Structures are given as structure tokens and as C-alpha cells.
Amino acid sequence: MTTGVSKSELHRRLFSQGFEPSRALGQNFLVDANIARKIAYEASIGQKARAIEVGPGAGSLTVFLAEYFEQVLAVEADRALTAELQSTLMERGITNVEVVNDDILAFDFIHAGFDLLPTVVVGNLPYNIASQIILRVLERAWYVESVIVMVQAEMADRLLAPVGSRNSSAFGVHVALMASTRQVLTVPASVFVPPPKVGSKVIRLDRVRDPLSIVDPRLYDTIVWVVRLTFGHRRQMLRRALTPEQGAIVGSLGIAVTRRPESLLLDEWIAIGRALEEAGLGAPA
């Protein structure tokens, strides 16, 4: 049975050798094997052939992903950790994991040199760039069907808030155009070394069928543009962000410009984007 990467192993392999976790890279290492296994199992639901792990670090999650998937591609930005992870996998006799030293925000999901099989992306994301990673995966890697990631609890709550609710956000609406979101786990800071200063949650994002980002990318761009434009005036009426001409178009849809952006449902955002596109007032080229 697969064993996790314990605190003592982490100390032996990394900290006793002078390794210091990078705050800039968001290096908080998960040392709870039960949580790591639960995440790997959640990722395996749906029988995807391959997992791409973002920021595998010391391999706490990687060793369990290797148990559930035929192929695992682990993308690690830290060169020292890349070498250490390869050593850990070799010591455990794990042969179905390929470790790549690369920045996930620069990683080419389409021309990475592997078959574009149905894939799940998994990882404990650096909290300072988690939103960028999620959007990059959903927008650029169309073959990724699910994303199971650990993020800051506050970000998770933004994504879990239903579109149209008081806690709805521009980021949440943006993601909802491409994926549905649900919570998997709440994770305490005590299971990390070093412990983060904020709470964490594991969330699952499943790609919606025929997302606009693929079917109608121009419409998608306009919706994202108008969402960001109006949420830039959060808690204020739509008319504060729209020109009189744009406001008239929104009003013609039966959507009052006196409403606030967080009150709009996803279908209403799509209708606004489509109407603005048809009127030639869509996102700037």
C-alpha cells in the first residue's frame, strides 16, 4: 500500500539539507497522507487516463496519484524540488510519473509532447497565483475535463458562491462560463509544513459541455470583458460602468441598469454579451 510523505521524511530529504520553503512559490508541503489520498481518489472519479499535477513539491500527493492513474505529469517550477521528487519516486519504485521542471503559467498545454487524452488537473496551488492557474487551464487546455485543486478558503468561497448571489464575483462568473464548482474538503493549516496563515479548501471544477470559450470565443471574450467592467464598480449599479448606449441595450433585454452586477444570473450575462456583440459594442479587439 502506498505510504505518504511524512514530516520526518520531509525533514530528512529537504530541511536537513538546507532547503528553505519559498514564500514566493507558495511552498507549503502537505504531510497528511489521508488528505492526500482523498484528493487523489477524488481526482480519479470519472476514470481519466492521465493527471497533470501542478506544483508537486515533495511528492505528498504525487505518490497517490501514481496509484490511481496510468500516467501522471508533474509540473514543478523549483529545480531543486524537481530533482528531489525524481529521487523520491525512484526510491519508491514509481515509474508512471514524468516530472517536468517548468512554470505552470508558461507551460504549453497543447504542444507539451503528449497525446491529448481526457485529463484531470490536480494540485495544491500557490495561493498568490491560483486564479491565474485555474483560468489558464480552463481556457487553454480544452482536453482537461476536471480540475481538483487546493486553494485559499476565501478564493474557494468566491468560486462556490452561486452566480447571482450576494457573494458572486467577477472571477466566479468567469469560471462559471466554463465549469461547475463544488467543495470537496476543508483542510486545516496544521497538516502543512510550514503551516499557511490562512485556511484551505479543496474544490472540484468540472468543465461544462460545449463552453463558450470554445464554441464562440468572441462572445466569450465580450462576456468576460463586460463582467470585469461592471464588477469593477462592485456594489454599484450597472449604469455606473456602462455607456448610455450600452445601458440602453441592456435595458432592452428587460435587465434594469439599476441592478448590481452580483445580482445577475449567468443566462443574463450571456444575453448581455450577445446583445452587445450584435450591436457592435463588444469587447475591444
Q: What CATH number does the domain containing 189 carry?
A: 3.40.50.150
Do residues 57 and 78 both lie within one domain?
yes
Do residues 139 and 41 both lie within one domain?
yes
Do residues 156 and 222 both lie within one domain?
no
Cα angle vertex 207, ends 201, 213, to 5°?
120
Residue 283 in any domain: the answer is no
CB burial class (10 A; 0-12, 13-18, 19+) of residue 9? Answer: middle
Rounded to an integer, what distance in angstroms lies between the CA atom of residue 68 and that of residue 70? 7
Do residues 234 and 150 both lie within one domain?
no
Give the model's pLDDT for residue 46: 83
Residue 262 in any domain: the answer is yes
Do 221 and 283 form a contact (C-beta atoms < 8 A)? Answer: yes
Give the model's pLDDT for residue 11: 86
Residue 95 in any domain: the answer is yes
Do residues 200 and 226 both lie within one domain?
no
- For residue 248, give the CATH number of its domain: 1.10.8.100
Residue 231 in any domain: the answer is yes
Question: CA-CA distances (angstroms) from residue 150 to 7, 237, 277?
Answer: 19, 34, 36
If one counts every other C-beta atom within 10 angstroms of the C-beta of residue 196, the result is: 15
Can you point out the beta strands (E) in the chain? Answer: 29-30, 50-54, 71-76, 97-101, 119-124, 144-152, 179-187, 192-193, 200-207
Nearby residues of 280 by Cβ (< 8 Å), 6 or more positions away: none
Q: Which three cell numbers stand for residue 206?
A: 468540472
Q: Which domain-ending residue is among 157, 184, 210? A: 210
Q: Which domain-ending residue is among 210, 243, 268? A: 210
Give the model's pLDDT for residue 13: 84
| Sign for the pseudo-dihedral over CA of 34, 94, 120, 127 | positive
Give the model's pLDDT for residue 113: 67
Nearby residues of 50 by Cβ (< 8 Å), 6 or more positions away: 69, 70, 71, 72, 73, 114, 117, 118, 119, 120
| Sign for the pseudo-dihedral over CA of 161, 164, 170, 175 | positive
Helix and strand numbers (H, E) in the chain are 11, 9
Do residues 160 and 227 both lie within one domain?
no
Nearby residues of 38 by Cβ (< 8 Å), 6 or more positions away: 184, 185
Residue-range definition of the domain harbouring residue 119: 7-210
Domain count, the chain: 2
Give the model's pLDDT for residue 154: 95
Regions in the chain scoring below 70 on pLDDT: 47, 113
Give the model's pLDDT for residue 84: 93
Rounded to an integer, what distance in angstroms lies between the CA atom of residue 173 and that of residue 9? 41
Do residues 194 and 229 both lie within one domain?
no
pLDDT tens, 131-185? 999 999 999 998 999 999 999 999 999 999 999 999 999 999 999 999 999 999 9
Give the model's pLDDT for residue 267: 97
Do 187 and 150 form a contact (C-beta atoms < 8 A)? Answer: yes
Rounded to an integer, what distance in angstroms lies between the CA atom of residue 129 and that of residue 24? 10
Do residues 274 and 223 both lie within one domain?
yes
Per the DSSP assignment, residues forming a β-bridge with 74 are 53, 99
Buried b (16+ CB within 10 A) or exposed e, 165-176: eeebbbbbbbbb
